[in-house]
Amino acid sequence: MTRKDPEKRRECVNVRLRARYADEPLYAEEKRIRSRQYQATHKEESRLKNRRYRETHLNEIQEKDREYRKSNAEKISKKDKTYRDKNAEAIKERRRINRLANRDHVNARQRAYYAKHPVPARQYQQTYRIANDEKKKEQNRSYALKHPEVRRAASAKHRAAKRNAPLNDFTCAQWAEMQSVYEHRCAYCHRRAKGHLTQDHITPLSKSGSHTASNIVPACQKCNSKKGTGTVLISIQPLLLTIAPPQKKKTS
């Protein structure tokens, strides 16, 4: 008999053993018990051995796994679902952490998906918007309540747009700054009116005045309505320089 290589010899032994296990169930049971005892007392060795086995038999294991999954699909999906139901929160948290850790990768994948499926992506966005419409509205409402000056600035801009103001770049931040430079006083009567000043357009919007810092001064209600769309009450020098830049959309 020629000498076999160790791999073949082991396979030979295994075949013989398997045959004996099949023939002698008692012997097989005894072997199983002893093996379990060994594993319990030699955890580290067992782990290493298992790992080595997995590494050298990867394809075989994967093939077996696939077969098992195919023939037990229903059982597995049921088990998976039970697990998901039981651990919904933990799974969500794990996914969140994963997403954060792989943000670039996730974003790239999403971009690729959107590029490939433009219509469903748009539909998804639409669905999302509709689903979150109320939430968004509520957010807007509470923001508007907290920042009335932002809303006022927006409506002033809107009024100027309706009048086709040549320049329409006056911002909420500029208005706040202008009032503080004027020490919250009316530019005409110099009375202090903190929180009650109005934006007076030196050249009125109705006469093609611009809604821009160089055409606006703070005025009290009284002086503003006295002036109306007429000429300025006293000669006035508008603020030519403000620190806050124009055309800024969001201001705090």
Please identify, using beta-carbon distances, which residue of 234 and 243 lies nearer to Zn ion: 234
**For residues 114 and 108, what is the distance between their CA atoms, to the nearest angstrom?**
10
Pick from 135, 171, 127: which is nearest to 153 by CA? Answer: 171
- Does 220 engage in binding with Zn ion (CB under 5 A)? yes
Provide the minimum distance between the beta carbon of 192 and Zn ion in the complex, in angstroms, as a whole number. Answer: 10
| Identified binder of Zn ion from the candidate list 188, 200, 213, 217, rule CB under 5 A | 188
Q: Are 213 and 174 in contact (CB under 8 A)?
A: yes
- Does 223 engage in binding with Zn ion (CB under 5 A)? yes
**Dihedral class, residue 74 (left if φ above 0, else alpha if ψ from -120 to 50, else beta):** alpha
Pick from 213, 184, 190: which is nearest to 200 by CA? Answer: 213
Please identify, using beta-carbon distances, which residue of 172 and 223 lies nearer to Zn ion: 223
H or E element in which residue 89 lies? helix 88-101
- Does 187 engage in binding with Zn ion (CB under 5 A)? no
| Identified binder of Zn ion from the candidate list 189, 232, 239, 244, rule CB under 5 A | 189
- Does 156 engage in binding with Zn ion (CB under 5 A)? no
- Does 170 engage in binding with Zn ion (CB under 5 A)? no
- Does 175 engage in binding with Zn ion (CB under 5 A)? no
By the criterion CB under 5 A, which residues form the site for Zn ion?
186, 188-189, 220, 223
